[in-house]
Amino acid sequence: MIVLGIETSCDETSVAVIKDGLLTANLISSQHFHKNFGGVVPELSSRAHLQIVNPLVKSALEKSSVKLEDIDLIAATAGPGLIGALLVGLTYAKGLSLSLNKKFVAVNHIEGHIFSGFLMEEKPEFPFLALVVSGGHTLLLLVKNFIEIYKLGSTVDDAAGEAFDKVSKLLGLGYPGGPKIQKAAEGGDAFRINFPIAELKEPYNFSFSGLKTAVLRYVQQQGGIQNLDEQHIKDIAASFQMAVIKALIQKLKRAIKSFDVKSVSIVGGVAANSLLKEKATELAYEFNNKIVIPRLEFCGDNAAMIAFRAQTLFESGITHKLDYKPYPALDE
């Protein structure tokens, strides 16, 4: 069984091949030029996907020693994401499926992230808790098997990665914010400023916009960014990072106590954060849970997770028709 997966939901074009259960290619082309604009520009993203998707498919097939006609299943991300960007990958996949007369599966990007731990040697064991933390989403889910997925909570405003990106911009550290904040925080004092963690009525929901405003107010109280020395900025970065990770860990701990799970999996771009990895691992050990955090290649957006998710759906008897539409938002 050969699966071709295509991911174009945001600013990474990615193509992967899974051959008889083995990942033989996971090519990722990142649109670095967005950093010049301080964030992703949707129209430029679509154009870049359009230029790179075909050569990337060719390279992935070559790398896997697979011919077009050998493919059994073609999959692409259908949403959530930027609509123009999604259209490129989804339409490409549908066209290929039509011309080769091969099965097609439309994949939900978040479900791709949820099961990305299965791309690792040590895989999650069902039932598991998945914390999806990316630039666009923050969700806590109970995953019983490949079909039964229950959302416990999500962010009511900004996503965790979005908060990293916005605060990084505010501190003049650049884009994407997560790695920049983490780097700055390495030399900072996380206990210098006590930023607040939102307490919400719903036990598993998150909120990060108040925290972002608290950082902004703090900077303003100091007379603006120009009045802060390098050490002070590092301390703010470290204190902010600590507050985000504390909020994530607090909800995760609550869920571990309430649901009888075997594993915990932290996925999405923010799962690359070393403080989050450290705290989540400590927590999982405390409750005797297996912890699976995919390696960097599978944490950010990638097509390997799309191909894998497509295969699990296919094996459950699910394929899609070629009139499948892309969707920008999560709840569609």
Provide the annotated binding site for Fe cation: 109, 113, 301
CB-nearer residue toward ligand KG4: 96 or 248:
248
- Of the candidate spans 14-22, 130-138, 206-214, 283-291, the one that interacts with Zn ion by CB under 5 A turns out to be 130-138
- Of the candidate spans 43-51, 91-99, 115-123, 157-165, the one that interacts with ligand KG4 by CB under 6 A turns out to be 157-165
Among 7, 111, 158, 165, binds ligand KG4 (CB under 6 A): 165
In angstroms, rounded to a whole number, what is the distance separating the alpha carbons of residues 330 and 240? 27
Classify residue 5 as exposed, middle or buried by CB count within 10 Å of its CB (0-12, 13-18, 19+): buried
Among 5, 89, 188, 268, binds ligand KG4 (CB under 6 A): 268
- Tabulate helix, strand, coil % of the chain (nearest 5): 50, 20, 35
Q: Report DSSP letters for 167-219, one per residue.
A: HHHHTT--SSHHHHHHHHHHTS-TTSS-------SSTT-B--HHHHHHHHHHH
- Of the candidate spans 20-28, 64-72, 159-167, 206-214, the one that interacts with ligand KG4 by CB under 6 A turns out to be 159-167
Strand 73-79 to 138-143 pairing: unpaired
Shortest distance, position 19 Cβ to ligand KG4, whole Å? 25
- Listed in sequence order, the residues at least 6 apart from 114 whose beta carbon sits closer than 8 Å to its beta carbon are 130, 132, 141, 143, 149, 265, 267
Number of C-beta neighbours around residue 137 at 10 A: 21
Residue 164 touching ligand KG4 (CB under 6 A):
yes
Shortest distance, position 168 Cβ to ligand KG4, whole Å? 7
Site string for Zn ion, 76-115 (x = CB under 5 A): ----------------------------------------
User: Of 243, 249, 244, 160, whose CA–CA distance to 195 is shortest?
Assistant: 243
Shortest distance, position 152 Cβ to ligand KG4, whole Å? 19
Shortest distance, position 9 Cβ to ligand KG4, whole Å? 7
Number of C-beta neighbours around residue 29 at 10 A: 18
**8-state DSSP, 65:** T
Site string for ligand KG4, 96-135 (x = CB under 6 A): --------------------------------------xx
Q: Would you give the distance in Å from CA 199 to the centre of its chain? A: 24
Residue 182 touching ligand KG4 (CB under 6 A):
yes
In angstroms, rounded to a whole number, what is the distance separating the alpha carbons of residues 308 and 93? 16
Residue 7 touching Zn ion (CB under 5 A):
no
CB-nearer residue toward Zn ion: 283 or 330:
330
Residue 134 touching Zn ion (CB under 5 A):
yes
Q: Token pair of 19, please?
A: 């051959």
- Of the candidate spans 122-130, 155-163, 246-254, 293-301, the one that interacts with Zn ion by CB under 5 A turns out to be 293-301
In angstroms, rounded to a whole number, what is the distance separating the alpha carbons of residues 48 and 43? 9
- Of the candidate spans 19-27, 55-63, 92-100, 269-277, the one that interacts with ligand KG4 by CB under 6 A turns out to be 269-277
Strand 263-267 to 128-133 pairing: parallel
Residues that bind ligand KG4 (CB under 6 A): 10, 134-136, 161-162, 164-165, 176-179, 182, 268-270, 272-273, 300-301
